[in-house]
Structure 1
Amino acid sequence: MKEKRRLLLELFTSTLYLSAFTFGGGYVIVSLLKERFVDQLHYIDEKEMLDLVAIAQSAPGAIAVNGAIVLGYKMSGILGIVVCVIGTIIPPIIIISVVAYFYKIFITNKIISAMLLGMRSGIGAIIVSVVYDMVLSVMDEHKERNILIMVGSFVLNYFLNVNIIYIILGCILLALVELFIRRKKA
């Protein structure tokens, strides 16, 4: 029981801390969740984290909250979800309330504008770093297939303007075909 409480406290404080000091959207917090729970605490491995991120991305809603939900469930079930979600949403609620209250002052302040502009480049670097790490991790298995899917998806969406929903459905179909082939071989 004591171990369970310690884990729940660790989940709460980690998600609270990460959410409070993360600027730039959900993908930044995902990279910090990976750093905290995979690299520092070793609660889950990198492949599991990629799976959790994929689940979080595919669900509707904010990826930071979805990431907290899947991580909390993986680590400690329903109670883990509650603890992680509360830890994740408290800082944004407080920050948004303060910003809303002082909106007129913030919008005209040159120092705050400069800080936000500076944060943008840092956020971009963090996102590039996460994408790089994730691509390297994904490329460990089935390298040629994964490169083909990534390039094909990019070309279909960017150059041929194919709706992303059709690309996702196509990837799901490919995965089901591969699963069927693997099961047939086994």
Structure 2
Amino acid sequence: MAEPLEKPRYRALFWSTFRLSACTFGGGYVIVPLMRKTFVEKLHWIDEGEMMDFTAIAQSTPGAMAVNASILVGYRMAGVPGALVTVGGTVLPPLIIISVISLFYQAFRANPIVNLAMTGMLAGVAAVLCDVVYTMARSVLRPGKWVLPAVLMVLSFLAVAVGGWNPILVLLLCGGVGAVQLLAPRRKGKKGGQQP
């Protein structure tokens, strides 16, 4: 675990997640590239591999993906206080925005300009999701170790999109395959060590 941060860095953690959350439209997957740009490329607080691990854990645990990812980043940077700071920064913007919109819901709902803006945002969200898929696939499909991840990605997509499988079941099966792959070299090593 990382050493506790000084107070200015707590402030930086809060405002980083606050800005990300305030400017994110389209759900948790959209925040992933933004978190990567902020915490990996700009601030250099975590590396690319950790960000991919955080994304996988945040996606496969219950709750909002953006909140789960921010908890992991905050905990990595400053333990439990860091996780609380990043959760506050992530949750506040939607809470404020939804509270304001709820006051004027009927006016927003009937306004054709707002409806057109929402349609335009959907197109932007689709483009960002394509970027997320490309970025994550590039990180997973490493040279020399791309066959199993590629097969799992294709089979997972077909199982959910065509077969109608429950995504939770697909995640559990893929996690099981990953665990078996991780444990297989250790078993071989132990067997090799036992031989004279």
Tell me the TM-score normalised to structure 2 length.
0.88
Contact 2:67 2:91 in 1 (8 A): yes
Partner of 2:154: 151
1:14-25 matches, within 5 Å, as: 14-25=16-27
Corresponding position of 1:122: 124
Distance in 2 (CA, whole Å) between partners of 1:42 and 1:169 is 31
Deviating above 6 A after TM superposition, structure 1's stretches of 4 or more consecutive aligned residues are none
- Structure 2 CA distance for partners of 1:182 and 1:63, relative to 1, 3 Å: same
Shift of 1:3: 5.4
Q: Which moved more, 1:163-172 or 1:44-53?
A: 163-172
Distance 1:156 1:40, change over 3 A: same
Aligned-residue Cα RMSD (Å) equals 1.8
Aligned-pair distance for 1:22?
Answer: 1.3
Q: Which runs of 5+ in 1 are unaligned?
A: none
Aligned length in residues: 186
Residues 25 and 161 of structure 1: CA distance in aligned 2, closer, same or farther (over 3 Å) = closer
1:128, 1:185 → 2: CA distance? 39
Deviates more, 1:170-179 or 1:30-39: 170-179
Instruction: Tell me, in whole angstroms, the C-alpha distance in 1 between the residues paired with 2:160 and 2:85.
Output: 38
Q: Runs of 5+ in structure 2 lacking a partner?
A: 190-196
Give, as a single letter, the amino acid of the residue that structure 2 aligns with 1:103.
Y
Equivalence for 1:185: 188
- Equivalent residue letter for 2:180: V
Within-5 A mapping of 1:1-186: 4-140=6-142, 142-186=145-189
CA contact (8 A) 2:36 2:51 kept: yes
CA distance in 1, matches of 2:170, 2:159: 8
- 2:163 counterpart letter in structure 1: L
Secondary structure of the 1:22 match is coil
TM (norm. structure 1) is 0.93
Q: 1:45 to 1:2 in 2, by over 3 A?
A: closer
